[in-house]
Amino acid sequence: GAVVSQHPSWVICKSGTSVKIECRSLDFQATTMFWYRQFPKQSLMLMATSNEGSKATYEQGVEKDKFLINHASLTLSTLTVTSAHPEDSSFYICSVSRTGTKNIQYFGAGTRLSVL
Amino acid sequence: DAKTTQPPSMDCAEGRAANLPCNHSTISGNEYVYWYRQIHSQGPQYIIHGLKNNETNEMASLIITEDRKSSTLILPHATLRDTAVYYCIVRAAGGTSYGKLTFGQGTILTVHP
């Protein structure tokens, strides 16, 4: 069964609005979750590392004020795309890593964001 | 992290073995080789990983050369559902950047009837 649940799977929004994406670890507590973004015909790019109870660590070039990450519990991390614009349209994917599994990542099914 | 090189695409007949190569000539002694795959419009799926010994699980086999500079992922009996992008990633199992995965372009495997 699924280890990671991501919601919603698909969202369409108007330009200027904010969109929240949830990532839940179903089988274990995850102190660290990861957020990736994938544009069409491209590979996954890590956006940020979400740490439970502390601020997220963003990769170079990713605007932390635009992509707000909250990791309020050991099973839930959220990514909010604030003031979304058409160029933010992408496939957003979260993942969790289980302690002791030699860095094996379990990925969510992804969220397709389309900004009109 | 060590860089990996994979062919951009490969074809395989259904029922035959699919052998996907990966070069990682700059791999360090503490770095593992991980394989993931991504079926269209889904999140990546973990397949297998190894350090230096060959590994096998219910999905695939991983053959790592003795010098660890290359590896091959083997899907013993490919099915149409194995059509996906396959990513070879080299990564330390721990350390300060624990968990971060760097995805390259991968190999698009197409399994045909």
Q: Which residues of A touch B98 (CB under 8 A)?
A: 32, 97, 103
Look at B43 and A107 and tell me if their CB atoms are within 8 Å: yes
CA A68 to each of CA A15, A74, B35, B50: distance values in angstroms, whole numbers, following the listed order: 17, 17, 30, 35
Q: Quick one: closest CA in A to B51, which residue?
A: A102
Q: What is the rounded CA–CA span in Å between residue A113 and residue B4?
A: 30
Nearest CA distance, A80 vs chain B (angstrom): 19
Measured from the Cβ of residue A25, the count of other Cβ atoms closer than 10 Å reads 24
Contacts of B87 in chain A (CB under 8 A): 43
Highest mean pLDDT out of A90-94, B94-98, B102-106: A90-94
Dihedral sign for Cα A29, B93, A45, B108, please.
Answer: negative
- Nearest beta carbon to residue A104 from set B46, B87, B105: B46
Q: What DSSP designation does A11 have?
A: E
Partner-chain contact A6 B42, CB within 8 Å: no
> Which tens digit of pLDDT belongs to each residue from A81-106?
999 999 999 999 999 987 666 668 89
Question: What's the rounded Cα separation, in Å, for the pair B47 and B57?
Answer: 8
pLDDT in tens, chain A (116 residues): 668 999 999 999 999 999 999 999 998 888 889 999 999 989 999 999 988 888 899 999 999 999 999 988 889 999 999 999 999 999 999 999 876 666 688 999 999 999 99
> What are the distances in angstroms from CA B71 to CA A115, B16, B24, B34, B103?
41, 19, 8, 10, 16
Q: What is the model's pLDDT at position A73?
A: 87
Q: Which residue has the higher pLDDT, A11 or B96?
A: A11
Least confident of A27-31, A43-47, B72-76, B108-112: A27-31
Q: Which residues of B touch A95 (CB under 8 A)?
A: 43-44, 101
**Spatial CB neighbours of A53, under 8 Å, sequence gap ≥ 6:** A71
Q: If interface means Cβ-Cβ distance under 8 Å, which residues of chain B face chain A?
A: 32, 34, 36, 38, 41-46, 49, 87, 91-94, 98-106
Cβ distance A106 to A4 under 8 Å? yes
The pLDDT of residue A82: 97
Mean pLDDT, rounded, for B81-96: 85
Tell if the CB–CB gap between A43 and B104 is shorter than 8 Å.
yes
Q: Which residues contact B68 (CB under 8 A, 6 or more apart)?
A: B24, B27, B33, B52
List the Cα angle A72/A107/A92 in 5-degree steps: 75
CB B111 within 8 A of CB B20: no
- Say yes or no for a CB contact (<8 Å) between B44 and A44: yes
Name which residue leads in pLDDT, A3 or B88.
B88
Residue A92 tokens read as 């957003």
Q: What is the pLDDT of chain B when averaged over all its residues?
A: 92
Other CB atoms closer than 10 Å to residue A35's CB: what's the count? 25
CB B18 within 8 A of CB B75: yes
Residues from chain A that touch B34, judged by Cβ atoms under 8 A, are 103-104
Chain B residues in contact with A103 (beta carbon < 8 A): 32, 34, 49, 91-94, 98-99, 101
The 10 Å Cβ neighbour count of residue B5 is 13
Please count the residue pairs, one from chain A and one from chain B, whose beta carbons lie less than 8 angstroms apart: 63
